Amino acid sequence: MTSVHILNGPNLNLLGTRRPEVYGTTTLAAVEDLCHEEAARLGLDVVFRQSNHEGRLIDWIHEAGARVKAGEVIGAVFNPGAYTHTSIALHDAIEGTELPVIEVHISNVHRREAFRHHSYISPVARGTIVGLGVDGYRLAIDALHRMSLA
């Protein structure tokens, strides 16, 4: 079965406890359940991962990109966390693999500190969803699915 990769960057393992006034009280495990439900509705499998290490995220992007070319993966929903604002390496990995990516942010980064307004990921993403809470993951899976059918 075709799958969608859900990649989560640093500190997202703290969802539900870290700054609930910004990120809500939903845990990463609950986000994973939400992603599995949405993917199943669309006939997709899910590979759900989180890492606090940039290199591991890059390896996963390379893996997903290769699997897209093999017709096994439709793309990735990617919440890069703080790496959004710092990682040229993640930008280059997405660009180099041509992995279809929907960038997701739980909070509206544009209403927050100025340093959060710039994304190195957005220029290589197919789309960006910000500020819609964890529902952004569901919307991103649906968007990738629709793009894969076009």
Q: Which residues are catalytic?
A: 23, 105
Whether 85 has a binding-site annotation, put simply, is: yes
Whether 51 has a binding-site annotation, put simply, is: no
Whether 107 has a binding-site annotation, put simply, is: yes
Distance CA 117, CA 98 (A): 24
- Pairing assessment for the beta strands 127-130 and 73-79 based on DSSP bridges: unpaired
Whether 92 has a binding-site annotation, put simply, is: yes
Q: In this structure, how many other beta carbons lie within 10 angstroms of the beta carbon of residue 127?
A: 15
> What is the strand order of the sheet 73-79 is part of?
45-50, 3-8, 73-79, 101-105, 127-130
Whether 41 has a binding-site annotation, put simply, is: no
Binding residues are 79, 85, 92, 106-107, 116
Binding residues for substrate are 79, 85, 92, 106-107, 116
